[in-house]
Amino acid sequence: MKKRYLSYLLGSALFLLSTGKLSAQQLAKPMGKTKINATTAGFSSNLPNYNPNPGQYHQPGHKCMSDALMEDYLQQTGKEQWYANEQARMNYEAQNFQGSRVAYTIPVVFHVIYSNGSENVSNALIQQLLDELNEDYQLMNSDAANARSAFGFVPANADVSFCLAMRDPQNQPLAEPGVHRVSTSVTYFDPDVNTNDMKYTSSGGTEAWNRNNYLNVWICDITNGATFGTAGYAYKPGISSIGIPSDIDGIVIDYNIGTTANSNVLTHEVGHYLGLSHTWGNSNQAAGCSDDDGLSDTPNTAGPSFDYTGSCTGNQTTCGTTQTMYENYMDYSNCTCMFTTEQVNLMTSVLANSRNSLASSIACTPVNPQPPVALIYAPLTTIGQGGVVNLYDQSTNYPTSWSWSVNPSTGVTFLNAGGNTDQDVTIQFANTGTYTVTLTATNAQGSDDDTEIINVVASGGGSTACDTLRNYNVNDPYYTLTAGTGYILGNTTVSTTGPPPVTYNITQWAEPYNASSPTEVRQLRFVPSAVNDGGGSVIFKVYQNAAGPEPGTVIQSQSVPLANLVDGFWNVVDFTTPASVTGDFWVGYEVSYANAADTFALLGNAENAPVPTNYTMMYVGSGFNTWFDVDAIYANQAGDPLGTAFIMDVLTSNGPAPTAALSISATTVCEGVPVSINASGSVNATTYIWDFYEGGNYEGYLDGVNPTFGFWQGSWDVDLLANGSCMTDVASTSFTVNPELTTTHSATSENCNASDGGITFSGTAGGDGGPYNYSINSGATSQTATAFTGLTAGTYNILVTDGSGCEYTSTQNVTRVNNFSVTASATPGTTINQGQSVTLDATAGGTSYTWFEGNVTIASSQSTSASPQVTTTYIVNAIDANGCEASDQITITVILGLDDSEIGKYVNVFPNPSNGTINLAVGFEASKNITVEILNMFGQVIETRNIQGVSSGIYQFDLSNESEGFYLMRINDGNEMFTTRISKID
């Protein structure tokens, strides 16, 4: 049964009990309820304090492990001294900064590594992370004003901006700017064991993109789904060099606690990426006051601020009287909001030196840029007066700025932080009428407009205010039952004092209230201390005031099944027919004793001086059948009357009844895809509760006029409880969450430049079951899994969708192969005599051939003729019909001829062969001038000697450093030439 009577908090300024409410960071996670520890006898302590920021990054237990990571790396690589030198250099640069302040822009790519829908974080969350980075590093964060100037803490502007990458390393456009999604079978990357596994395909992650062009941020599960633990980590660079291998350089953050709104996790880790240490030094934990970050304008602190009392609350000192700068982004606290001047100087020095290449990256420049095509998505276009609409930019071609305008503009308020210049906006309309909303989307190539019409209708007449009548104090102690059995303010018994004792059932409880003017009791709001459903009900009643005073005639009653009430939570009961009251009246309830399993008791504490009396009444049955003052029954218990009062709010109003109306952004989605619901079409409503049921089981709730959520797969019902004038109206809708869409894709390689590569999909499942739409690089879609052929080599962005909004995104690499080859041959052979010709030929298969002798083209045919005079190498280059190129070479050895002349009669060469020295003996009839040359078998002269006026003699030539083989000795006297062959052996 749906619990129509159950809702929570409804704008109350009371304390909060633990509830089943979902936070924005719990999207796609199962919703549960946490009860307070109720005892059967009552309470002896106050309700637990409310934590306004559950799950924040800087709560104790959430850590950055950058220091431990860096320490391990330096020890393993032996770079401790290198980094110590770099740290000293960085600190000097920070404290003695001489450079000019330059604005830097860092391109960012988020590698989203996911094994389920909740880890596959949304595009909107990515944009939120980037927006927060830009605010924090350009001193545009609104909380910068919280830095305590009384201690001289002045936030500094780092003047660093961040942009989402528009292209991948192969210069292909990214389907989602700045986002690279990778599905993995790894469910958890343990940061202590699998520290860098998310950075490699082989271990379930993905490789870093070129760090010279991108800041790599990996988003994955490093906490095993917990809301505490390691939120993120990064390696720190030096100034003269980065020092960290390119394949692990970058930042890792947890998909859950690392992406919490305004947690500053990424701001903190980017600080490490740009060289900053923790404010207490290079340690992940308290290091005492002997170590710090080496910067003079970050006060010394013993360790993380949240490890010590006083964090974010005023004064905090951990090192003598030195005030802790818990506002610093490089500390751990819930209130970080600033960098110091020296921290900014240090980061600027790193960007000007070791990370300077980021400044010239074109990663954020779109491929083939075009002007935007503006497009507005409006889930809701008709709302009630005072309602809000969410409008989303879905423009194409990568706009870089946005401007929203509303005509007419009177009574129009932009509720989003950036006003009318945010990409997506939330607009409230105070007046009725028809409004034209215009979006102007702009990039460097131009601008474009789109419009949407919003109709604002009247909300009805009368005030929707809801007055609260209350008899209790919030902070006083509870009381414990010391007599009788059962539950105070519930089904319990009392006994007479004298023998024999008689037991009486207390069947009703009531308290007096007063309405200063005529009004209607429409709702009761209360916290039961105990509920057990045995099939019975509780009857809530409004009574006239009778003499005594005590409850009189029942004006109105409302029966509520025990199954619809939950102990430990705020419960709200609506009267189907409100009770008209003025002056003194009573409100109470009747508990059932018909079934022994039925239990109901209300929380109570000290009275708040109700009018006209200051006591609670109880109706004692089983013989008495009359009303008694609770204090009269318990007057002498431990010498102190009970003095209790209901923890119950009586809600009264004369305003118009609310009408609930809702819209939903999609009725069928895929697991992990966010859905937006909007109650702005409701009239006469002031608060909104959304109850969720899956398969008929209540799972939890959200509040607000237009929350966004994402749930696990199943068939869901959602009830909108629109509350106004102390009344509730309900509107309902349903939606289906389909299983995550999965597919397998593979590639066939391109044959050289033939544009014949392909991508094939198989095993597609999930979503609505198909048919599925396939596309690559945001091109045309096909429902055929093998439709993508004729592709060139490169990286392609994969998108698979179904009809319900489910998406699968990934990348696929198409490689280029060359299966064409050519072989050169020669006829009559590769060795010829000097003066002989040779035919050069290449194997068939090419469409064109080119022969080269060195760099000179000698033919453009499959075969050609050549007449080398010396040993020569020829190269053939061939291209086939697919554009594939291949080459081969062949060397033609030319045996030089031996010249015969008269000189040969007068010379002798010995020893021949020789292992080193060759002797030339000459004996001419008359004196001659001769030139002696030694040539290798390639015809290259390796030694020349001119001998003048020789008639006889012996001349030595040293070949000991030459290779084994044949050589020629050529003797020339100016008239004749004689050549002889010599042989070198080893």
Task: Kindly report, residue by residue over 586-641, the tens digit of the pLDDT.
Answer: 999 998 877 888 899 888 776 554 434 456 888 887 677 888 877 666 543 444 45
Helix (H) or strand (E) holding 265: helix 265-273
**What confidence score (pLDDT) does residue 527 get?**
86
**What confidence score (pLDDT) does residue 137 get?**
95
Catalytic residue, candidates 93, 135, 269, 699:
269
Six token digits for residue 550: 């005590």
Q: Is 12 helix (H, G, I), strand (E, B) or coil?
A: coil
Residue 353 has pLDDT above 60, yes or no: yes
Residue 65 has pLDDT above 90, yes or no: no
pTM over 0.85? The answer is no
Q: How confident is the model at residue 498 (pLDDT cuts 50, 70, 90)?
A: low
Residue with the bigger pLDDT between 20 and 580: it is 580
Residue 822 has pLDDT above 50, yes or no: yes
Residue with the bigger pLDDT between 156 and 383: it is 156
**532 closest CA partner among 593, 473, 476, 573:** 593
Q: pLDDT by residue (tens digit) across 568-590?
A: 888 889 999 999 999 999 999 99
Q: Is 63 helix (H, G, I), strand (E, B) or coil?
A: strand
Burial class of residue 889 in the structure, from the number of CB atoms within 10 Å of its CB (0-12 exposed, 13-18 middle, 19+ buried): exposed
Judged by average pLDDT, the poorest of 79-88, 132-141, 724-733, 891-900 is 891-900
Judged by average pLDDT, the poorest of 512-521, 622-631, 663-672, 698-707 is 622-631
Q: Which residues contact 635 (CB under 8 A, 6 or more apart)?
A: 641
Q: Is 216 helix (H, G, I), strand (E, B) or coil?
A: strand
Q: Where are the beta strands (DSSP E) in 739-814?
A: 742-748, 750-751, 757-765, 773-776, 788-791, 794-801, 807-814
**What confidence score (pLDDT) does residue 462 get?**
55
Structural contact between residues 458 and 432, judged by C-beta atoms closer than 8 angstroms: yes
Q: How confident is the model at residue 12 (pLDDT cuts 50, 70, 90)?
A: very low
> Residue 623, Cβ neighbours under 10 Å: how many?
11
Average pLDDT in the chain: 82
Q: pLDDT by residue (tens digit) across 737-771?
A: 888 888 999 999 888 877 788 999 999 998 888 88
**What confidence score (pLDDT) does residue 588 get?**
94
Q: Is 419 helix (H, G, I), strand (E, B) or coil?
A: helix
State the average pLDDT over residues 548-559.
Answer: 92
State the average pLDDT over residues 405-410.
Answer: 95
The dihedral region occupied by 850, where left means phi > 0, alpha psi between -120 and 50, and beta the remainder, is: beta
Alpha carbon distance 50, 449 (integer Å): 46
Please list, residue by residue across 171-210, b when 16 or more beta carbons sit within 10 angstroms of its beta carbon and e when fewer do.
ebbbbbbbbbbbbbebeebebeebbbbbbeeeebbbebbe
Residue 4 has pLDDT above 60, yes or no: no
Q: pLDDT by residue (tens digit) across 369-389?
A: 889 999 998 877 877 788 788
Q: pLDDT by residue (tens digit) across 337-350?
A: 999 999 999 999 99
**What confidence score (pLDDT) does residue 643 get?**
61
Q: Is 269 a catalytic residue?
A: yes
Judged by average pLDDT, the poorest of 258-262, 391-395, 813-817, 980-984 is 258-262
**What confidence score (pLDDT) does residue 887 get?**
85
The dihedral region occupied by 622, where left means phi > 0, alpha psi between -120 and 50, and beta the remainder, is: left
Q: How much of the chain exceeds pLDDT 70, in percent?
A: 87
Helix (H) or strand (E) holding 605: strand 604-606
Residue with the bigger pLDDT between 197 and 477: it is 197
**896 closest CA partner among 967, 815, 827, 845:** 967
Residue 520 has pLDDT above 80, yes or no: yes
Q: How confident is the model at residue 53 (pLDDT cuts 50, 70, 90)?
A: very low
Structural contact between residues 428 and 411, judged by C-beta atoms closer than 8 angstroms: no
> Which whole-number Å values give the CA distances from 205 to 193, 194, 318, 692, in the listed order?
15, 11, 41, 35
Residue 60 has pLDDT above 50, yes or no: no
Q: How confident is the model at residue 92 (pLDDT cuts 50, 70, 90)?
A: confident
Q: pLDDT by residue (tens digit) across 170-223?
A: 888 887 889 999 999 999 999 888 899 999 999 999 999 999 999 999 999 998
Q: How confident is the model at residue 879 (pLDDT cuts 50, 70, 90)?
A: confident
**What confidence score (pLDDT) does residue 87 get?**
85
Q: pLDDT by residue (tens digit) across 778-794?
A: 777 788 887 788 888 88
Residue type, 899: D
Residue 926 has pLDDT above 70, yes or no: yes
Six token digits for residue 403: 């401007």
